[in-house]
Structure 1
Amino acid sequence: MESNKALIKESFKAVVENLAYNEAAVEKYFSKRYVQKVDGKELDYQGFCQHMKVQKQALKYLSTDFITIVEEGGIVFTNHIVNMETKEGRSASIQVIAEFHVEEGKIIYCNELTHLRSGDEQDRDLGSRH
């Protein structure tokens, strides 16, 4: 059986880092009951899909570096760095502390805090922009 840590990493490659929006990939990794809380904002599944579409329109590069990833049952905690470049040429680095819940092989919940380590203030909301 695949670990939930591997599922999280795979979902980032297929959904977050892929600069083309892929609805089939979102459906593969995320439950239709998905809820994401980011810096005081809450997105449901449709809001998350919209967030991914908006993010893809704004970025020309995005990579994720997992510093720490810990799994306990259906819960995965990560400390990761997201590096990105917008289509306008601005670069940003965001540190993310996230708690993911996995049920029946899909991500059902995420609660994350983001910190803009470097970059333009106008890109601070790239983790939740929708």
Structure 2
Amino acid sequence: MKQFIRQVFTDILENPVFDHKLIEHYFSKDYVQSVDRTQLNYEEFILHIKKLKEKVIVQKIDIINYAERESTIFTNHMARSALKDGSTVVHKVMAEFTIQENKIIKCDELTLLVEGKPAEKDLGSEI
């Protein structure tokens, strides 16, 4: 599962291009994401990814650690983002992904802005 999540990070988050087909490939239509106190459904998640592509030039995800059991993988990772306004932000992310039928159906995530403008605190859930 670690390789699967790594590929999702590469193809969806690190890819500078919005690709709806890739989202469909990796995420269930029943997908639900909880980020801090915000919940996104599948359609809202698509809007979130579009918003990221509008704001971010380059994003790099570094997995610090992970644990997996059955259909769940937990990651502790750092998301480093260079924004189109010239600023840089770094978020520490703890995320628990549930995978069913080779698609992510749920993500329960906590994010912490480690570096950057306070206005970018909610970059992980912005739509």
TM-score (norm 2): 0.98
Give 1:6 shift.
Answer: 1.4
Query: For residues 33 and 7 of structure 1, what CA distance do their matches in structure 2 show?
Result: 19
Q: Aligned runs of 1:1-130 on 2, under 5 Å?
A: 4-130=1-127
Partner letter of residue 94 of structure 2?
I
Identical counterparts, % of pairs: 38
Residue by residue over 1:37-86, the C-alpha shift from the partner in whole angstroms, topping out at 9 and shown as x without a partner, is: 00110000000000000010001110000000111010000000000111
Q: Tell me by how many angstroms 1:36 deviates.
A: 0.2
C-alpha RMSD of matched pairs (Å): 0.6
Q: Distance in 1 between matches of 2:22 and 2:9?
A: 10
Give the partner amino acid of 2:115: S
Please, which runs of 5 or more residues in structure 2 have no aligned partner? none
One-letter amino acid of the counterpart of residue 91, structure 1: T
Letter of the 2:3 counterpart = A
Deviation at 1:14, TM superposition (A): 0.5
- Give the secondary structure class of the aligned counterpart of 2:5: helix
Following TM superposition, the consecutive aligned residue runs of length 4 or more in structure 1 with deviations greater than 3 angstroms are none
SS in 1 for 2:17: coil
